[in-house]
Amino acid sequence: MKPFDVGLAVAVAVIWGLAFVASRLALDELSPALMTAMRFAIAALPCLFVRRPNVPWRVLIAISATLFLGQFLAQSWAIAHGVPVGLASVIVQSQALFTVAFAVLAFREIPTRMQIAGIGVAAIGLLMICGTVGFDFSVGAFAVLMISPVSFAIGNLLLRQAREVPMFDLFAWLCLVPPLPLLALAFAVDGPRATWSALVHMSLTGWVSMLFVGAISTSIAYWLWGRLLRDYTAAQVVPFALLVPFVGSAASTVVFGETFGPLRLSGMVIVVAGIAVMLLSKRPQDVPEKALPKIA
């Protein structure tokens, strides 16, 4: 890769890591449904200027419902209910494990021995993290968070049905799907008055956080990532996503004073190591290479 593009890949990973912190700041003022709705409403603004890609609506809706709505609503709900930001940034990256597993079930694509080894290592890390659940956040919050990587993995596989279309246009229109159902959910759960009041009384920190998450992390960063995947092989680009949990954890430590006990920290490191084994191994199959990494 050219040095400039290496810099872009690192910048995208840093943006996605910082987006976990920005999401947490926004969730101090907005409910998970409303925050996620605003995220995609902002990210969908380019739809005013780009044409809908040549993808059927049913495919767009299916991809967006899993890759975006399901993934980020679960993530936001879990963070709002006490799951530490740094831990969430690691758990979401486990989507790589589920992508490979679901590809076996759906497409009979058999993983290589190195991929299987990576899955085993990451699974051990997840079990170690599970051993820390219940102390500073509930089992229910952790269970909801696990919906995020599972939904993300399903979206990765559905994304195969939208190949050979402009990346920026595709993701702009994918962002158009979640806002209305999420806003309806916010009205149903929080009530119209509370929802409107939260929007009217948002602080400058809240607005800046939402603009960062919606415009920079979701819209711009995905476009840059798509450009890199267009110009280089996924094997060259995707490993940069391993920087995301480290950036998210470090930023959370600085901003929120988040700390990790020995068991949880070891589990987080082992999860990332297992994913690294999967992504960096030579593979004849396409599934992990086609799997997009986590944004926040």
pLDDT tens sequence across 211-224: 999 999 998 988 88
Return the SS3 of 142. Answer: helix
The backbone region for 134, taken as left when phi is positive above 0, alpha when psi lies in -120 to 50, beta otherwise, is left
Rounded CA separation 168/223 (Å): 5
Both tokens of residue 117? 């080894």
In this predicted structure, what is the pLDDT of residue 216?
95
In this predicted structure, what is the pLDDT of residue 288?
43
In this predicted structure, what is the pLDDT of residue 175?
94
- CA dist 264 → 90, 92, 147, 203 (Å): 11, 15, 20, 33
Per-residue pLDDT for 83 more than 60?
yes
Residues 6 or more apart in contact with residue 58 via CB below 8 angstroms: none
Rounded CA separation 82/9 (Å): 30
- Tell me the average pLDDT of the chain: 86
Both tokens of residue 5? 């593009």
Rounded CA separation 218/54 (Å): 21
In this predicted structure, what is the pLDDT of residue 189?
93
Q: Model confidence over 278-291: pLDDT tens digits?
A: 777 655 444 444 44
State mean pLDDT over 39-54. 93
Task: Report which secondary-structure segment, H or E, holds 258.
Answer: none
State mean pLDDT over 197-216. 95
